[in-house]
Amino acid sequence: MSVRPYRDIDHRSSRRIHVGRVPVGGGAPITVQTMTNTPTADVQATVEQIQRCEAVGVDIVRISCPDAESSAALKHIVPQVSVPIVADIHFHYKRAIEAAENGAACLRINPGNIGSAARVREVVKAAKDHGCSMRIGVNAGSLEKDLLEKYGEPCPEAMVESALNHARILEDNDFRDFKISVKASDVFLAVAAYQGLAEACDYPLHIGITEAGGLRSGTVKSSIGMGMLLWAGIGDTIRVSLSAAPEEEVKVGFDILKSLNLRHRGVNVISCPSCARQQFNVIDNVRLLEERLAHITTPMTVSVIGCVVNGPGEARETDIGITGGGNGTHMVYIAGQPDHRLKSVDVVEHMVELIEAKAAEIQAEIDAEARTAAVIEASAAE
């Protein structure tokens, strides 16, 4: 019996689109999205919220445009932020046209819901004229009446059929620069719908468990649902939907990708839950470490283990590690090897200093490799 390597994820092959400067699909890194919850017409509040999300690494931000004031606000919001903005449109085709004209990089709109074929053509023309991609967003809670009558209830088949119907409308208008989502709050329904859609088309997929809940419960549901899909190679961009601040969605999204070794941003802390064997307060130290290291974007791994049972083994696989030892003396590991002993109660300060220095070293190596690759690419182009 052949067994797939346990770390091997065969990613589904999809076509590539762009949301502004950000590539989605076609082998591009899986992107992390969120959505603002401020009134869009409040430009200052919306910009400040987006900037908080940018600080934790968000790739794409979606903004609701329910009225003309909101779509008009985009022309003031877009110049003040660095990430591409997706305009969330429901039903009113004029909002989509306005959003495209005012700087949106992508339109979240279901073409079958905006009326006549002429209206669809107008939206497609605006998207083409202004370089906008689109997202078809099917939701189990808002399926078309005819599909509910046909299938009796929201089900994977109905969601896939809805998505493909909307896609066909755009294809008939010679527009294929779009991604698709088929979200549900039920984990199993969402996963089955995405599995069916992944088999039915090659468009990039925006995955998520919609209306997942609060910070803790929503994180669990999202991790299970998206984890199943990502492990199966399905998903080109993700959004964790939480009843929490948008920046928390971004943090959870990156943690999901890090846990599957799909994308790394910042410090991945491996720590024990602590027990009576711990030689320092693991829980408090880890909490403080994560707060102090939140500014680091360089990918690296740190282990914080309270005793010598698993500490040396975990440290061998990390960039920097610390293991609790007897008499208040702890072993610090660098690049998997024992480096020095620490006899101090201030574990956090010492570790932060080491980690910041190591992050700078790793980042310098990454930058040097990027410069070399750029030179090679430029030479090949000549």
Task: Tell me the pLDDT of the chain (382 aa) as tens digits.
Answer: 444 555 667 889 999 999 999 999 999 999 999 999 999 999 999 999 999 999 999 999 999 999 999 999 999 999 999 999 999 998 899 999 999 999 999 999 988 888 889 999 999 999 999 999 999 999 999 899 999 999 999 999 999 999 999 999 999 999 999 999 999 999 999 999 999 999 999 999 999 999 999 999 999 999 999 999 999 999 999 999 999 999 999 999 999 999 998 998 889 999 999 999 898 899 999 999 999 998 898 999 999 999 999 999 999 999 999 999 888 889 999 999 999 998 866 889 999 999 999 999 989 998 898 888 888 878 877 7
Q: How many CB atoms lie within 10 A of CB 153?
A: 9
Residue 304 · residue 270 · CB < 8 Å = yes
Alpha-carbon span 342 to 322, nearest angstrom: 9
pLDDT for res 5: 57
The DSSP line for 285-350 is HHHHHHHHTTT--S-EEEEEESSTTTHHHHHTTSSEEEE--GGG-EEEEETTEEEEEE--S-HHHH
Whole-angstrom Cα distance, residue 236 to residue 206? 6
Contact predicate 106/132, CB 8 Å: yes
H-helix or E-strand spanning residue 250? helix 246-259
- 267-367 in CATH: which number? 3.30.413.10
pLDDT for 1: 43
Burial of residue 38 (number of CB atoms within 10 Å: 0-12, 13-18, 19+): middle
Residue 377 CA to residue 382 CA, distance in Å, equals 9
Neighbouring CB atoms inside 10 A of 365's CB total 10
Query: In whole angstroms, what is the distance from residue 291 CA to residue 129 CA?
Result: 44
What per-residue confidence (pLDDT) applies to 9? 75
Which CATH number is associated with domain 17-259?
3.20.20.20
Domain ranges of the chain: 17-259, 267-367
